[in-house]
A = this chain, B = another copy of it.
Amino acid sequence: MSVRDILSSENELTHMLGAQQAIVLSTRIRLARNLNDHPFPGWAKAAQRAKVTELCLGALNPMPKFRRAHEVRMEALPELERAALVERHLVSKELSGGKGGAALVSRDQTVSVMINEEDHLRVQVVKGGWHLRAAWHIAEQLDDALSSALPLAYSDRLGFLTACPTNVGTGLRASAMLHLPGLCLAGHMDKVARALGQDGLAVRGWLGEGSDAAGNVFQISNQQTLGLSEDTILRHLSGWVRNVVEQEENARLRLIESEGEKFLDRIARAFGTLRHARLLTSGESMANLSLLRLACDVGMLPEARRATVDRLMIEGQPAHVQLRAGTELDTEARDARRATTTRDTLADFPEPSAPKLS
């Protein structure tokens, strides 16, 4: 099973969502777990990491969720394929660059388990749109199955033990990936991010920690894992996501009402650039696609086109562009390929029209 199969297959994230749902690109649950009596990956020897991989895959592979799953050994992959998996959020940058890392990705790509990342096991459940409880439900079932199959490191006093103290306790990171062009265009995103930070939530960019908010996409997640119940963590995130989505909707409404023709002009220019440019950097592409995505949300482009825009956002990332070309490319060659794909893909798009807000 090659990485190309993963990248070329449909998954839940490329499915269509309603306009309101579409502000939340995806919901994610991540659990950090470790095996008893095995050194954490960061200070384990190669043989110890290999043993952990064997134990974990042995426990995971028979589970129904992982029937016909993609099993990936990081060190066996060419650099571009590792990078593409990171761009898809299927594995972390740490796993892709570390030693002895492996991953098991379920057939439908909603569940993936990283082995020998910072912890022995990092379980991830991802659902398109806003489905925190559903994602949590799957993660919980998987966690129960893991607990039965493997001796997990757990302390009655602290909870789950993890390599980094920031994950001790629940080992839970719940997050939502939000598309917030309205708040960004209105210049309110900094204020929103500050408020989230003050209430214990982390705000990150498209590719997680340390990445910038390309395409006006932000990941919001809990910071605290110790001393709170899972339910408290989920409810806290949930409340804030609803709040931010509401602020985004208001920002869009205000933009449409107060900017009128200027707003349509902005969207139309983004469309013009994507439809005609011969060189597109990743950043400019994301910024303009973000505006087209917004256009689909507010009826300036047919809603059915949103999935195409989302696909261009994912496939315009550097490793994806190079994999598609079948070779490594320098920056200008990537920018030329990205522009060509974008032009071709948007060729049959209708011209953006005035917004229709319900």
* Docked-complex contact B336 and A276, CB < 8 angstroms: no
> A261 CA to B340 CA in the complex, in Å?
12
Given the complex, which residues of B lie within 8 Å of A262, measured CB to CB?
A: 279
Nearest-Cβ distance from residue A256 to partner chain B, whole angstroms:
14
* Docked-complex contact B276 and A264, CB < 8 angstroms: no
* Interface pairs (26), CB distance under 8 Å: A261-B278, A261-B279, A261-B332, A261-B336, A262-B279, A264-B278, A265-B277, A265-B278, A265-B279, A265-B339, A268-B276, A268-B277, A268-B278, A269-B272, A269-B273, A269-B276, A271-B276, A272-B272, A272-B273, A272-B275, A272-B276, A272-B277, A273-B273, A275-B275, A275-B276, A276-B351
Which positions 248-301 of chain A face chain B at CB distance < 8 Å? 261-262, 264-265, 268-269, 271-273, 275-279
Q: A interface, by DSSP: helix, strand, loop or mixed?
A: helix
Which positions 303-358 of chain A face chain B at CB distance < 8 Å? 332, 336, 339, 351
* Docked-complex contact A269 and B277, CB < 8 angstroms: yes
Given the complex, which residues of B lie within 8 Å of A332, measured CB to CB?
A: 261
Given the complex, which residues of B lie within 8 Å of A269, measured CB to CB?
A: 272-273, 276-277
> A264 CA to B279 CA in the complex, in Å?
9
Given the complex, which residues of B lie within 8 Å of A336, measured CB to CB?
A: 261
> A284 CA to B7 CA in the complex, in Å?
42
When all copies of this chain in the complex are counted, the total is 2
> A271 CA to B262 CA in the complex, in Å?
19
> A279 CA to B351 CA in the complex, in Å?
15
Since A261-B332, A273-B273 are in contact, a sample of 11 more A-B pairs with Cβ atoms closer than 8 Å, ordered by chain A residue number, is: A261-B278, A261-B336, A264-B278, A265-B277, A268-B276, A269-B276, A269-B277, A271-B276, A272-B276, A272-B277, A275-B275
> A295 CA to B262 CA in the complex, in Å?
28
Given the complex, which residues of B lie within 8 Å of A277, measured CB to CB?
A: 265, 268-269, 272
Nearest-Cβ distance from residue A318 to partner chain B, whole angstroms:
18
Chain B residue nearest to A267 in the complex (CB): B278
Given the complex, which residues of B lie within 8 Å of A265, measured CB to CB?
A: 277-279, 339
Nearest-Cβ distance from residue A208 to partner chain B, whole angstroms:
31
Lowest 10 CB-CB distances: which A-B pairs, in order? A272-B276, A272-B272, A265-B278, A265-B279, A268-B276, A264-B278, A268-B278, A269-B277, A272-B273, A271-B276
Given the complex, which residues of B lie within 8 Å of A268, measured CB to CB?
A: 276-278
Nearest-Cβ distance from residue A332 to partner chain B, whole angstroms:
7
Nearest-Cβ distance from residue A231 to partner chain B, whole angstroms:
49
Given the complex, which residues of B lie within 8 Å of A273, measured CB to CB?
A: 269, 272-273
Given the complex, which residues of B lie within 8 Å of A264, measured CB to CB?
A: 278
Chain B residue nearest to A274 in the complex (CB): B272
> A269 CA to B276 CA in the complex, in Å?
6
> A271 CA to B277 CA in the complex, in Å?
9
Query: Which of A272, A275, A332 counts the most chain B CB atoms within 10 A?
Result: A272
> A261 CA to B279 CA in the complex, in Å?
8
Nearest-Cβ distance from residue A165 to partner chain B, whole angstroms:
49
> A268 CA to B339 CA in the complex, in Å?
11
Chain B residue nearest to A269 in the complex (CB): B277
